[in-house]
Structure 1
Amino acid sequence: MVRKMMTTVLSAVMLLSVLAACTGKGAEPNAEESQTTKPADAKTEETASTNNPDEITADLTWFGLASPKDFEDRYGQYIKKKFPNIKITYINQTDDRKLEQVIASGTQIDMYLSSAGELREDYIPANMALDLGPLIKSHNIPVDTIEPAYLGPVTIDQKTYLLPVSDNKFVMYYNKSIFDKFGVPYPKDGMTWDEAIDLSKKITRNEDGKQYMGLWLSPKHYLRVAQNSAGFVDPETNKATVDNDQWKFIFDNIFYKLSRDPGVQQRALEKFYSHEDFMKDSVIAMYVYTSGWMNSDDSLPPDWDIASVPEFKEYPGLNTQTYATYIGISATSKQQDAAAEILKYLTSEEHQTTMSKRGFITPLLTQSVRDAAFTDYPFAKTKNIQALYHGKPAPSRTMTQYDELVIEDAFQTDAIPKIVRNQLDVNTALRQAQENSDKLIQEQIAKQ
């Protein structure tokens, strides 16, 4: 959501001590910042006109939601190695240190981690979003190697503001032990939703006081990437686009059909379904979620595997929309050329291969990079890794800065639980969600 910019002197003063490291004056980074090291005699001016990474000297400040540890693990250590004369100061967003506060303090942000949604919610309203087109051209960044579906969500009026560095692909996890317990065949890549739901019905039952559910998903995560690309808000009118045939299709064919069993409805009344029901309690046999779980497979059921997300027969061959992490360059940065060289490296086949091996899903089309997925993990030889790239990504929905109000409040918190608990029919739930969403949007607009 767009937040009001804090411009008071008090806000700036409170942040000066926290952000002192960003000035490059020698302050030590605190626990919430991460810095690389540059030689003491290195120049601070940008020298990115050369193609030799060793000769590029710059002092860049990053901002993002990732923790300092995660930033260093995924980006910082590799930038330091590739560009030894570039100094990186990373500021992570917290509840007490948000983008508007950092800007109000006078801190210059050069690069930032973002999602397609955050671009619209935060960086465009803050006038930080830079059209990368000229830099892509002048630095010969090969965007033709990127799957086009990743560029759609961050291209507005033919201007591309972000480039993708990794994705959280959606897959259908399944617990082999539950299937074996009930003698049910495992799911396969390319199943339709109807086929997956029919398979789930063979699992769903109450046995020995334990309510099993064949298939479930994380509602708010799936809603963001639904395969029919349904949008949430009309960007022209700021009215919700909820009570329509597109969302009725999703609610009828997923949430309604998955919850017709009385035992499922009763369990949802007592305790609504969550990640833990698949990961720890082993009462859900199949669960649609992002590939992020695979990066810490010890938290998954011991005998897990994956299949592709079921597809709709009405949308054959379409997987979910992309769910990527992006990097942008600030429109106010005075070191945009150095930043562009870093962005070029982070999206290169060289770096993407390294990260693909580590389980960060590449946005590149390059088959060799895709084939490297999770190869640093012992399980890669025994799991159905190719499910990650089954089908084509669905086109991106129309995004607005108010989408999360619909997703989190009107759908996730209200409409979906009531449908699953058999408290509302789909038509009524969508009508109420439309009314709730419009009210929430207007309340948010009034606060701006």
Structure 2
Amino acid sequence: MIIRVRSVLMFLVAAVFLIVTACSGQSPNPKTTQPLTPSEKEHVKTPAIDKPTKLVVYHQWGMTTEGFMNLYGKYVTKKYPNLSFEVIGTSAGSLEQLVASNTNVDFIFHTELNLNSMISLGISTDLSDLIKTYKYDMEKWDPSVTKYMREFNDGKIPAIPLSLQTLAFYYNKDLFSKFGVPFPKDNMTWDDVRDMSLKLTRNDAGTMYWGYDTQNVGTKMLVNPLSMPIVDPKTDRSAFETDRWKNYITQMITPARIAGVTPAEGSKLDMFIKGQRLAMTSTMNSNFTMFAHSPGLNWDVANYPTLKEAPGVGPQPEIVMLYIPSTSKNREAAFLAAAELSSPEVQRELSMDGQQSVLRDSAIRDVFGARLSELNGKNAKALVPAKLAEKMPYSKYVTIGSGALTTAYNEVADGKKDINTALRDAAEVTNKKIEEQKSMTGK
């Protein structure tokens, strides 16, 4: 799994970090997370923060307090002027160290992959009581988010989702023009990508050009559009030795194998940005900021290609969350701040600034990047899939499986193993590592 940081979209870059956590012990109340009735919505408790309160935000990827205020805090303090924020990072210590020293933290930025870490550290919480008290409507979230949030922690809600990120499909317009190949269009399939890769992979006047390759293999597994589990959460065993997984990986590999980019060529992003010899790539939709600030790169974006067996369905989202640890000294104020950041009004503002909304409202999705000059003339709407795939069932061992799948993908792409052998070996590695981790933790 994978999390990333960008200068404009700091929060979107949630690189996967394994900090370790344990459950708060609160029992889930199924009623608190059910859709609100019209009468319930009419009797929402009026929130009040009647004294100066500072909320401490833990963000280990370099965001400053000023940066947080410019991106998010300004919207919260407009509604709650008694609130202020302080952002701390790894210079203040690891999360484990902060917990051990009883340092107060009110928010932890991370994706859904951080749940196990929260539980292992003993700071996971359940916000269901506050969701009920303030009649917070979870149904406003994108359906893929709502369903996942209700299920991934046995009905307990440890965080409020802030934004989404997923894969996008980028291309170099100059290389398409150079070789007379029509630009990629929205609603392509991976067969279309294969055909374009074949036309664009060539040696021209002694310079080698490649059609397609990807930077984020592990993410392709984690956000696969078929919602296939990587690890079965019921058995804690690998779940990818199936015909559907083989077919999916084959479709992903084929256009890259045609291009034949070897590991010796280096980073695929460097080949796309600096060398400008890679015509197409798939990477996170937040990476548009990197491309926009790369001199001489004439790039654009198309809808992420869909699978023949799932037409029109985009990848799964990674959910960037505001975790509120059980140790927070300002739990209710933190909840109200998170609720405000996920409100339609603020989500519209964030969408205009290029952050993918967690809400189901298509009007908010349609204004994505509207305030960003770097997206002028670009197919910006293609960065946000109209329909996201459902999230796969949560497993605390999913990053073990995705790592093994990444190795399998690369072995097949490089011609070192066939798909059956690679997946069988990956399953053995996954199951062995899961057992090792269980023996170490006793769980």
TM over 0.5: yes
Q: Find the partner of 2:228 among 219, 225, 230.
A: 230
Aligned residue runs from structure 1 range 70-219, under 5 A: 70-93=67-90, 97-120=93-116, 122-155=117-150, 156-217=153-214, 218-219=216-217
1:347–1:389 CA distance, 2 compared to 1 (3 A): same
Shift of 1:188: 1.0
Percent identity of paired positions between Structure 1 and Structure 2: 29
1:368–1:326 CA distance, 2 compared to 1 (3 A): same
Q: Separation in 2 of the partners of 1:434 and 1:134?
A: 40
Structure whose alpha-carbon radius of gyration is higher: 1
Aligned residue runs from structure 1 range 252-401, under 5 A: 252-255=250-253, 257-261=254-258, 264-265=259-260, 267-272=261-266, 274-296=268-290, 297-299=292-294, 302-401=297-396
Q: State whether residues 53 and 84 of structure 2, in contact with CA within 8 Å, keep that contact through their aligned partners in structure 1.
A: yes
2:243 maps to amino acid: D
2:55 maps to amino acid: L
Q: Deviations over 1:414-446 (max 9, x none)?
A: 322221221111111111111122222223333
Select between 350-359 and 312-321 the one with higher mean Cα deviation: 350-359
Q: Separation in 2 of the partners of 1:250 and 1:340?
A: 39
Q: Separation in 2 of the partners of 1:372 and 1:56?
A: 36
Q: Find the partner of 1:434 among 407, 427, 430.
A: 427
Shift of 1:83: 2.6
Q: Separation in 1 of the partners of 2:329 and 2:52?
A: 13
Q: Separation in 2 of the partners of 1:329 and 1:4?
A: 15
2:190 maps to amino acid: W
- RMSD of Structure 2 on Structure 1 (CA): 2.5
Q: Separation in 2 of the partners of 1:329 and 1:312?
A: 37
2:84 maps to amino acid: K
Q: Separation in 1 of the partners of 2:250 and 2:221?
A: 13
Shift of 1:131: 2.2
TM-score under structure 1 normalisation? 0.81
1:62 maps to amino acid: V
Q: Separation in 1 of the partners of 2:263 and 2:357?
A: 40
Q: Separation in 1 of the partners of 2:19 and 2:438?
A: 10
SS of the counterpart of 1:76?
A: helix
Q: State whether residues 293 and 299 of structure 1, in contact with CA within 8 Å, keep that contact through their aligned partners in structure 2.
A: no
Q: Structure 1: which 5+ residue stretches go unaligned?
A: 6-48
Q: Tell me the matched-pair count.
A: 397
Select between 165-174 and 436-445 the one with higher mean Cα deviation: 436-445
Q: Deviations over 1:271-294 (max 9, x none)?
A: 355211112211221111112122
1:100–1:390 CA distance, 2 compared to 1 (3 A): closer
Select between 149-158 and 73-82 the one with higher mean Cα deviation: 73-82
Q: Separation in 2 of the partners of 1:285 and 1:253?
A: 18
Shift of 1:141: 2.5
Q: Separation in 1 of the partners of 2:295 and 2:190?
A: 23
Q: Separation in 1 of the partners of 2:59 and 2:383?
A: 26
Q: State whether residues 240 and 437 of structure 1, in contact with CA within 8 Å, keep that contact through their aligned partners in structure 2.
A: yes
Q: Separation in 1 of the partners of 2:207 and 2:434?
A: 41
2:191 maps to amino acid: D
1:61 maps to amino acid: V
TM-score under structure 2 normalisation? 0.82
SS of the counterpart of 1:341?
A: helix
Aligned residue runs from structure 1 range 385-424, under 5 A: 385-408=380-403, 410-412=404-406, 414-424=407-417
SS of the counterpart of 2:301?
A: strand
Select between 69-78 and 209-218 the one with higher mean Cα deviation: 69-78
1:4–1:163 CA distance, 2 compared to 1 (3 A): closer
Q: State whether residues 160 and 339 of structure 2, in contact with CA within 8 Å, keep that contact through their aligned partners in structure 1.
A: no
Q: Separation in 2 of the partners of 1:246 and 1:127?
A: 37
Q: State whether residues 202 and 209 of structure 2, in contact with CA within 8 Å, keep that contact through their aligned partners in structure 1.
A: yes
Shift of 1:52: 5.2
Q: Deviations over 1:201-240 (max 9, x none)?
A: 1112222333322222221222211111122222233222
Q: State whether residues 225 and 313 of structure 2, in contact with CA within 8 Å, keep that contact through their aligned partners in structure 1.
A: yes
Q: Separation in 2 of the partners of 1:240 and 1:129?
A: 26
Q: Structure 2: which 5+ residue stretches go unaligned?
A: 1-16, 22-44
1:360 maps to amino acid: Q
1:441 maps to amino acid: I
SS of the counterpart of 2:162?
A: strand
Select between 193-202 and 328-337 the one with higher mean Cα deviation: 328-337
